[in-house]
Amino acid sequence: MSEKTTCIKIENLVKTYGRGRTRALDGISLEIGNGEVFGLIGPNGAGKTTLMGCLLSLLRPTSGDIHIFGYTPDNLRVKELSAFLPERPNFDAWMTARQFMSYHHMLAKLPHKTSKQDVEEALRQVELDPSAWDRRIKKFSRGMLQRLGLAQMLLGDPKLCFLDEPGSGMDPIGANLLRKLLLNWKKKNVTVVLNSHHLDEVERVCDRVAFIKGGRIHQIEELSNISKEEITIIVKCSPELEMPDDVLCSDIAATLEGHYFGITEHCLRFRLKHEKDKASLVKALVEKQVAVEEVFQERRGLEDLFIALHNEDLRR
Amino acid sequence: MSPAVYLFTLWVKFSSMSSVLGLLFLAIGVPIILSSVAVDGKTADLLVNLVNGPTLAMAISYTFMQDNIANTRQMNDGEYLSLLFARPLTRSQYIVSKWLAGSTGVFIIMMLNILTFNTAQTLQGRNTVVDLNFWSMSDLILNALSYSALMVVIRSFPMRLGIAVFIILVYASLIGPALSFSMSSYEGAIPAVYMIFQALVFISNFLHHFVFPGIDLFEVLNTTRFSVLPLVTYVSNILMYLLLGTVLLSRREFSYGEE
């Protein structure tokens, strides 16, 4: 974490279910700075949603501590300063969008006299068609529900936002809008915790990401580091000749302190720490009789990191 | 108390036609039906006891808390309440708001109920049985508060347990007094049947005294020897129900995702 003051501090957080049989969170420690956009990534069942639940005080940790703005997560001051978008927008279907927003405006303890103005401003910001404002929520599409969910987050100018899979069900325009809102929050120094499977979305907006698996943080990466140094090399092999086996490729990658991700459609995928290792990789492959046809270089992305960490874990 | 939750709870009942029709049936339909079958003073008394008693009030209060304290599966309550409790709202505020909203609903419907019953009786040339004065209104409010407190607890139970308890309480409040009323007709019946009836009445009375914290304000304030005990019993019962409701809700965890 940078020099920013701490917004969220998690210490050795454990959450178990079934009298300790399942450890959903297994000793998570983490600090998130004020104004930081922090991503949680990991496979299904990794514990991301459980972590989010603990941060929102919807789940009680078995042990460990969480402090948000210096308070415990169930403190009303924390809730006044934060906003949340759940994974599945299960709202009061009988209400109209405007009524739903007014209800949340009231729940957020915002001044009644600004209610109409605040509600309309938030609905405008998420670009929900005004003709839908007085329509019952049950007639909304998934994308519209997501927009409404985002709109209720905007009420009261939160200082901390929790978003759980905000991009699911959104069309490209909606996804673009979400990105705009996230970047706007970033500009306003709002702290954001983003749980998403859309790695490209995470990559575009997050400052740091934590890779969570099996209830543990396996790695925390600064996104700026990911894109600058490491590179991904794709080696296309001749389809007529026999493909090299995974062990050979993994060994070659290991000698260069890199990673081998596997083969797809006659293409071998490697990650290297330094660009200068690219020639050595190709040379080693040719020496081992691999029928190299073409070599491409890709910027190392979050997806590669995700796959690499996941594969590393599988190998263990 | 949260004004948002209070208003929402009342509002949700008037959001659909079926819900409004159900409430109108309880407020107007039931007393009209009862009035038409109250052919003599004794039956009218029984029916008035029924109307004034806990059964109807519990049913009304139960429906007012239907969409919340959340043991309904169809609402995916974990997901629904997770958004609610991410707002600056404590579980005790939620419980108290639900309780007050339920009490308000019960008071309004019960008042309409009595007015309709009295009107129907007058139209049929019979005496009105309950006068709407300060004391009867106070009793209505106090009963509404106590029955709603009880319903808050029942609604905080897991769904099946809540329904089972509700049915037992309905039995205690409705079937028991009705059986007790008609016991004299069964005195000549087979002893075993009579014993079963007696046992049922006993259970009903026991439940009635144990769970329904009623109070007669007129009697408490106008008696020559003022006793604080009924007031203490009444208040402590309500507090216990609200506390229990808060504890049950606070123990719940809201898991909203796939995990």
pLDDT digits (tens, 9 = 90+) for A132-172: 899 988 888 888 888 899 999 999 889 999 998 887 777 78
CB-CB under 8 Å, A106 with B3: yes
Q: With a cut of 80, say whether residue B50 has pLDDT above it.
A: no
Percent residues over pLDDT 90 in chain A: 33
Q: How many CA atoms within 13 Å lie on the side-chain side of B86?
A: 29
Out of B17-26, B89-98, B227-236, the most confident range is B89-98
Of the residues B9, B13, B82, the best mutation for testing chain A's interface (the one with the most A CB atoms within 10 Å of its CB) is B82
Query: Is pLDDT above 80 for A117?
Result: yes
pLDDT at A311: 65
Question: Would the ipTM clear 0.85, i.e. be above it?
Answer: no
The answer, yes or no, to whether residue B258 has pLDDT greater than 50, is: no
pLDDT top residue among A22 and A36? A36
pLDDT score of B190 more than 70: no
For A103, which of B4, B90, B259 is closest by C-beta distance?
B4
Look over chain B and give the mean of its residue pLDDT values, rounded to a whole number.
Answer: 77
Q: Is the pLDDT of residue B82 over 60?
A: yes
- C-alpha dihedral over A128, A131, A134, A135, to 10 degrees? -90
What total of structural domains would you count in chain B? 1
CA A305/CA A119 separation, integer angstroms: 40
Sign of CA dihedral A125, A126, A127, A132: negative
Tokens of A85: 């978008």
Instruction: Read off the pLDDT band of B154 (50, 70, 90).
Output: confident
Residue B100: predicted pLDDT: 93
pLDDT number for residue B205: 72
Between A25-34, A54-63, A206-215, B246-255, the lowest mean confidence (pLDDT) is in B246-255
How many CB contacts within 8 angstroms connect chain A with chain B?
95
Q: Which of A150, A155, A147, A89 is nearest to A119 (CA)?
A: A155
Going by pLDDT thresholds of 50, 70 and 90, the confidence category of residue B73 is very low
pTM score > 0.90 for this model? no
CB A140, CB A98: distance < 8 Å: no
Distance from CA of A165 to the nearest CA of B (A): 10
Specify the higher pLDDT residue, B13 or B43.
B13
Q: Which residue among A49, A79, A82 places its CB closest to the CB of B258?
A: A49
Q: In terms of residue numbers, what domain contains B143? A: 3-258
Please determine, for residue A73, whether its predicted confidence score (pLDDT) is greater than 90: yes
Q: Which of B232, B174, B226, B219 is nearest to B50 (CA)?
A: B174
Q: Specify the pairing of strand A267-272 against strand A208-213.
A: unpaired
- A103: which chain B residues are within 8 Å (Cβ-Cβ)? 4, 8
pLDDT averaged over chain A? 85
From chain B, pick out residues whose CB is under 8 angstroms from the CB of A83: 86
CA A64 to CA A84: how far, in whole Å? 23
Structure tokens at B119: 């009107």
CB-based contact A158:A82 (threshold 8 Å) = yes
> What is the rounded average pLDDT of the residues B137-158?
85
Higher confidence at residue A58 or residue A227? A58
Look at residue A108 and tell me whether its pLDDT is greater than 70: yes
On the question of pLDDT at A303 being above 80, the answer is no
Residue B16, SS3 per DSSP = coil
pLDDT at B51 over 50: yes
pLDDT reading at A75 higher than 60: yes
pLDDT tier for residue B67 given thresholds of 50, 70 and 90: low
For residue B249, what is the nearest residue in chain A, using CA coordinates? Answer: A58
Interface test with B, best of A92, A102, A136, A146 (most B CBs within 10 A): A92
Among the partner-chain residues B16, B82, B253, the one whose CB lies closest to the CB of A86 is: B82
Helix (H) or strand (E) holding B139: helix B134-156
Residue B188 confidence class, pLDDT cut points 50, 70, 90: low
Q: Minimal CA–CA distance to A152: which of A201, A99, A93, A113?
A: A99
pLDDT: which is higher, A224 or B166: B166
Q: Please answer yes or no on whether A82 and B258 come within 8 Å at the CB atom.
A: no
Give the pLDDT of residue A72.
Answer: 93
pLDDT at B127 over 80: no
**CB-CB contact of A215 with A28 (8 Å):** yes
Most confident of A55-64, A195-204, A304-313, B151-160: A55-64
Q: Please, what is the end-to-end C-alpha distance for chain B in angstroms?
A: 32
The pLDDT, as a whole number, for residue A225 is 67
pLDDT band at residue B75 under the 50/70/90 scheme: very low
Of B87, B253, B259, nearest to A107 by CB-CB distance is B87
Quick count: other Cβ atoms within 10 Å of Cβ A96?
16
